[in-house]
Amino acid sequence: MNTAATGFVYHEDYLKHDTGYHPESAERLVSIMRKLEEVGITEKMKRILPVKASNEQIQYVHVDGYIKKVEAMCKGGGGMLDPDTPLCHDTYEIALLSAGGVTKAVDEVMLKADNGVRNAFALVRPPGHHATSNKGMGFCIFNNIAIAAEHLKRKYDVKRILIVDWDVHHGNGTQEVFFDDPSVLYFSTHQYPHYPGTGWIDEVGKGEGEGFTVNVPLPAGTDDAGYLYALWNILVPIAMDFSPEFVLVSAGFDAHVDDPLASMNVTSPGFGLFTDVIKEIAEENSKGRIVIALEGGYNLNALAESTLSVFDSLLSNGEGREKRKEKISENERVRKRVEEVKEVQRSYWTNLL
């Protein structure tokens, strides 16, 4: 019997996606698991074993020609999918297991029986949020979080899904997939200007999806307080209005102050504070249902500590949250950017003050 409220997805096969000398390495997951086991937190959670996503599930998001291209390249021994994205012989199968890890986490949270969990964190690789419908890029092969959102729509008939993407890079792939879809609200904070170049405030969705994409491009140097200011002043009011039935998070840890690929100043405990905000939204709207998927994060130590902070938040009962809120302060450049975003988004979300 397992009555844990929080689950985690992990499989040693995730280490088989061999990228060579590359920041998105198998060592990332080794470092995370070592830390989680060192502090004994895995014993308090339900371990969820992933299964490979089916071809049909991958096709929810990706065109068949692209899927076949990845499969063929891997069968031929691998190669470079784009200048940043290496494939090895096993990558195709492991990318299916990565997407399948996030959908399995969704299934566990949606379980009605007592053995389900309220929330789960899928510790998967390769990451996914840069992968578009017809193109892998930026270390990403298949868009794990987008596939999970489509799985929620199709298997469980979920009508409103919130995706929060706090990876330091803009999730161009996820944005593209849901740009005209009002059932998925895509919210992203990211360093701007920075890779991949998208994610300005005027990218708000199109057609029926107009207003359901919210981009918060932040200046280099934004710290915990700046992020929390953006989350409380933009994400929370919009999310409370949207009232998601399920919350998904693209959790990259490359906004960490020690990360080698970006220039933000978030601390390891900061990611736990972001998770507290997500929990408040989920408790209010989605019966606490949250699935978090690992995206980036390239300083091995910072990645492990930040992941632990997220788990600490998921496992906590919310005590001390009020005190943490008081710590929110403002950085002038962040405050100005938040005002600019609100100005654009007020056309769609009337409760934005």
For Zn ion, the binding residue among 209, 252, 270, 272 (CB under 5 A) is 252
Q: Measured from the CB of residue 47, what is the shortest distance to Zn ion in angstroms?
A: 26
- The helix (H) or strand (E) run that includes residue 41 is none
Half-sphere exposure of 12 (CA within 13 A, CB side): 1
Residue 161, φ and ψ in degrees, nearest 5: -120, 130
Closest distance between Zn ion and the C-beta of residue 112, in Å? 35
- Binding pattern for the stretch 278-297 against Zn ion, x by CB under 5 A and - elsewhere: ------------------x-
Spatial separation of the C-alpha atoms in residues 218 and 262, rounded to whole Å: 12
**Per-residue interface string for the shown chain with Zn ion, residues 95-134, x marking contact by CB under 5 A:** ----------------------------------------
Question: Pick from 118, 136, 119: which is nearest to 127 by CA?
Answer: 136
Pairing of strands 85-88, 119-122: unpaired
- C-beta closer to Zn ion: residue 100 or 199: 199
Provide the minimum distance between the beta carbon of 30 and Zn ion in the complex, in angstroms, as a whole number. 19
Of 130, 169, 170, 194, which residue is the catalytic one?
Answer: 130
Instruction: Report the Cα 285 to chain-centroid distance in Å.
Output: 19
Q: Which CB atom, from 45 or from 278, has the smaller least distance to Zn ion?
A: 278
Q: How far is the CB of 316 from Zn ion (least distance, A)?
A: 26
By beta-carbon proximity to Zn ion, the closer residue of 130 and 289 is 130
Q: How many CB atoms lie within 10 A of CB 126?
A: 26
Binding test (CB under 5 A) with Zn ion, winner from 254, 259, 280, 305? 254
110: closest CA among 153, 167, 146?
153
- Taking the CB of residue 267, how many other CB atoms lie within 10 A of it? 17
- Cα Rg of the chain, angstroms: 18
Of 295-334, binders to Zn ion (CB under 5 A) are 296
Binding residue (CB under 5 A) for Zn ion from 167, 224, 245, 258: 167
Q: Does 173 bind Zn ion (CB under 5 A)?
A: no
Strands (E), 103-179: 119-122, 161-165
Could you tell me if 201 and 223 are in contact, meaning their C-beta atoms sit under 8 angstroms apart? Answer: no
Is 130 an annotated catalytic residue?
yes
CB of 141 to Zn ion, least distance (A): 15
Q: Count the site residues for Zn ion by CB under 5 A.
A: 5
Where does this chain touch Zn ion (CB under 5 A) — which range of 59-67, 91-99, 238-246, 250-258? 250-258
Instruction: State the residue for tokens 């209010």.
Output: 284
Q: Which residues bind Zn ion (CB under 5 A)?
A: 167, 169, 252, 254, 296
Tell me the catalytic residues: 130
